[in-house]
Amino acid sequence: MKVTEINIYPVKSTRRIALRESEVLPRGLPWDRRWMLVDAVGTFITARQQPGLAIIDTRIGDTTLEISVNGRGSLRLPLYPDNRETMPVVVWKDRCDAVLAGKEADAWFSDYLGLPCRLVQMTDDLLRGVNQHYGQPGDQVSFADGFPLLLISEASLNDLNSRLPTPVSMRRFRPNLVVDGDAPYGEDAWRRIRVGEVEFEGVKNCSRCVFTTIDPDTGIKGPDKEPLRTLSTYRRKGESGVYFGQNLIPRSGGTIRVGDAVEILETMAS
């Protein structure tokens, strides 16, 4: 079993950047979900409410983040801002501080979305902890929904697509890591794995939402509510949600690469 994709999403809810290799940090992959949009009171904004975010492209340069979307001038922001003005922000039930990206960024996104909003950044000195019900003291996460990385197997997507009237791409599910091999949904039970030189702990299956119904090419929600509708027929766990993918927390550092072997060290059953 090998890694077939490594992805980051620098601005929460925007398009992926596909990588050939990446360092692994305690809070995930460098620059993954390090920027996020918030409203006037600091509550996070995602493509769940604003599907147009899903078609914004980003590019990481040596010193800047470039943000662009068809038909609009690009926005460039420093990776390491001089401005240190912060505001409290809310991601689901979590509260943490974030650095303001500045008036130019706020205006660019406000104009694009047609509503007032602000862009904020999680710099290295700012911390957001992982839910201690699943993690350990000191575990960190960026502006991702809850955990440092998400892994999905190609076998799971292939099984889902065999049930759908129209197949969907892995981009609907926004994983950081994609692996081939193993049985469909085998990742549900992975407690500890090694990817190349890095060990990860599988801590919680990923609950899916309306975001999966947004076409990543058009930014439009599908009227048939697929693939969430089909997933809900066989991947629902009581009242807790519909699940697809495994959330991971790094338990060592190092570098991972496309093509790296994936070794299952421990399963939930064992």
Report pLDDT for 270.
55
Q: What is this structure's pTM?
A: 0.96
The residues, any chain, with a CB within 8 Å of residue 248's CB and separated by 6 or more, are 147, 148, 149, 150, 151, 176, 177, 193, 200, 201, 202, 203
First to last CA, the chain: 20
Listed in order, the ranges of the chain carrying CATH 2.40.33.20 are: 3-27+131-267
Q: Report the alpha-carbon distance of residue 91 to residue 79 in Å, rounded.
A: 21
Per-residue pLDDT tens digits for 200-242? 999 999 999 999 999 999 999 999 999 999 999 999 998 779 9
Report pLDDT for 71.
79
Q: Report the alpha-carbon distance of residue 194 to residue 266 in Å, rounded.
A: 10
3-27+131-267 CATH choice from 2.40.33.20, 3.40.50.10470, 3.20.20.140, 1.10.3710.10: 2.40.33.20
Report pLDDT for 27.
97
Only one residue has tokens 């505001």, namely: 87
Q: What angle do CA 54, 12, 248 make, to 5 degrees?
A: 115
Report pLDDT for 189.
97
Report pLDDT for 239.
77
In this prediction, the residues of the chain whose per-residue pLDDT falls under 50 are: none
For residues 13-37, one letter each, b for 16 or more C-beta atoms within 10 angstroms of the residue's C-beta and e for the rest, the string is: bbbbbebeebebbbbbbbbbbbbbb
Report pLDDT for 26.
96
Per-residue pLDDT tens digits for 238-262? 877 999 999 999 999 999 999 999 9
Only one residue has tokens 């969430």, namely: 228
Token pair for 156: 């799971």
Report pLDDT for 10.
98
- Helix or strand holding residue 206 (H, E): strand 198-208
User: Which has the closest alpha carbon to 151: 201, 196, 212, 197?
Assistant: 201
